[in-house]
Amino acid sequence: MTIMYAANFFLCGIMMSLMIAGIIISAITPDMEKWKRKFFIALFTILTLLVITYLIDSFTLLCSNAAIVERIAVFFEYFFIPLNIFMVTLFLLHCCGDSWHKSKFFYSELIVYVVFLILLATTQFTGIFYYITDENIFYRNELHTILIGQMVIMAFINLIAVIKRRKMLSKKYYAAFIVNTLSMMFAILFHTIIFNPLVVAIGIILSALGMFVIILIDHIENFLRQQHEILGQQANILVLQMRPHFIYNTMTSIYYLCSQNPKQAQKVMLDFTNYLRKNFMAITHKGTILFSILP
């Protein structure tokens, strides 16, 4: 039993570290859209709170007289999971450019979410779906599947919405939403078969991390592509703005040399031509610039 508790605390520590890392990476990633940055910070913050509730839950199991704390912890365990699903709904609408107040998909998700909250609040007073004894023991009733079913419905609505909007999403974003939604559905369904809240938390967190990593990779690729394009544009500008006064002065010198020293004028003209050619090559070169091509 002690080994099981130690394993729970160890897993919670790993998950909390990953969530904190997600918050930090979201905050410091350059050029990330402000809305997306806030979304991932909020998402990882909620998941961090979810892990904290599991830690509290694990601690209360070591005490036989902490039933009230256990009830509060379990309530928030159930509360945070559908909230995470609903946030993904809002993120999908944002990525597709849909207005939430005109979206049937949004209202369908909202109705199921509100029904879940009502059922969750009801069971706190009636114990219709689950209850916790004074000895701090958790029991599920036969109707517990109805409560979990609301989460499955929310995840399924998200899945249908993602598939319908696949043409409005890039390949990476589509993959990110599919990975998130399917992982979440699997974790919740697993919860109905084998009751293990920590495993559900791990599944939820991995689904969020999977979505975040795919979107982060897409963002980094776009960022590097933009930087490459900016460098190319800067090179073109440099070509257009290459020292016009220097060119004017050189051509003037060659003009006077043509009458005073024609051979020297030819040599200067050849040197100047080579100089221009090598400068244009160096400025417009897209790979490594060798010292041998520099003037």
Q: What is the mean pLDDT of residues 82-106?
A: 89
The model's confidence at residue 294, banded by pLDDT at 50, 70 and 90, is very low
Q: What is the pLDDT of residue 283?
A: 57
For 247-276, how does the pLDDT look when each residue is reduced to its tens digit (9 = 90+)?
A: 777 788 888 788 888 888 888 888 888 877
Which of 81-90, 153-162, 181-190 has the least mean pLDDT? 181-190
Residue 30 has pLDDT above 70, yes or no: yes
Q: Return the pLDDT at 42.
A: 94
CA distances from 116 to 153, 172, 225, 235 (A): 10, 31, 44, 58
Q: Which of 50-54, 83-87, 229-233 has the lowest mean pLDDT?
A: 229-233
The partner residues of 132 in beta bridges, in order of sequence, read: 138
State whether residue 139 is helix, strand or coil.
Answer: strand
Is the model more confident about 232 or about 228? Answer: 228
Per-residue pLDDT, 295: 46
Residue 13 has a pLDDT of 84
Contact 239, 284 (CB under 8 A): yes
The pLDDT score that the predictor gives to residue 254 is: 81
DSSP per residue over 197-218, as a string?
A: HHHHHHHHHHHHHHHHHHHHHH
Q: How far is Cα 214 from Cα 217, in angstroms, rounded to an integer?
A: 5
For residue range 159-199, list pLDDT tens digits in order. 999 999 999 998 989 999 999 999 888 888 877 776 666 77
The pLDDT of residue 247: 75
Q: Are 95 and 109 in contact (CB under 8 A)?
A: no
Q: What is the pLDDT of residue 92?
A: 92
Sign of CA dihedral 37, 86, 171, 97: negative
Task: Say whether pLDDT at 19 is over 80.
Answer: yes
Residue 91 has what pLDDT?
92
In whole angstroms, how large is the CA radius of gyration of the chain?
31
217 residue type, one letter: I
Between 139 and 279, the higher pLDDT residue: 139
Percent of the chain with pLDDT over 90: 29
Locate 53 and state its tokens.
Answer: 């509730």
In angstroms, how far is CA 259 from the centroid of its own chain?
Answer: 70
What is the pLDDT confidence band of residue 33, given thresholds at 50, 70 and 90? Answer: confident
User: What tokens were used for 15?
Assistant: 């998950």
Is 159 within 8 Å of 185 (Cβ atoms)?
Answer: yes
Determine the average pLDDT of the residues in 192-214: 81
pTM of the model: 0.74
State the CATH architecture for 2-224: Up-down Bundle (1.20)
**Residue 237: how many other CB atoms lie within 10 Å:** 11
pLDDT the model gives residue 293? 45
- Distances from the Cα of 30 to the Cα of 40, 79, 222, 224, angstroms: 14, 33, 11, 11
Average pLDDT over residues 199-217: 87
For residue 284, pLDDT beyond 70: no
User: Mean of the per-residue pLDDT values for the chain?
Assistant: 83
Looking at per-residue pLDDT, the higher value among 145 and 201 belongs to 145
